[in-house]
């Protein structure tokens, strides 16, 4: 449905990624999938499920804004 990909590159470390995706699931719910880690690795993930698109979109925006404040930039 919609994906946001953010990157962070510190001088002393490898670049990091943070990915947020909104998707409809089989039960007519909206999933917010978050993945993060070092670029080139599998990283970690978390899935949160919401009853409607509005709540899922607000949650995804909250995560995106938090990562932008931490120094991540759009890729």
From CA 56, how far away is CA 29, in angstroms rounded? 9
From CA 75, how far away is CA 72, in angstroms rounded? 9
Residue 48: domain span:
2-74
Residue indicated by tokens 């998707």: 23
> What is the residue-wise DSSP string for 10-75?
-TTS--EEEEEEEEE-TTS-EEEEEEEEETTS--EEEEEEESSHHHHHHHHHHHHHHHHHTT-EE-
pLDDT tens digit at each of 75 positions of the chain? 788 888 887 755 678 999 999 999 898 899 999 999 988 888 899 999 999 999 999 999 999 999 999 989 987
**Domain at 28, CATH number:** 2.20.140.10
From CA 60, how far away is CA 57, in angstroms rounded? 5
Q: How many domains does the chain have?
A: 1
């Amino acid at each position: 449905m919609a994906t946001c990909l953010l990157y962070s590159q510190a001088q002393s470390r490898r670049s990091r990624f943070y990915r947020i995706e909104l998707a409809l699931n089989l039960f007519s719910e909206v999933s917010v999938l978050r993945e993060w880690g070092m670029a080139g690795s599998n990283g970690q993930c978390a899935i949160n499920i919401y009853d409607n698109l509005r709540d899922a979109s607000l949650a995804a925006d909250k995560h995106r804004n938090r990562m932008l404040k931490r120094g991540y930039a759009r890729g």
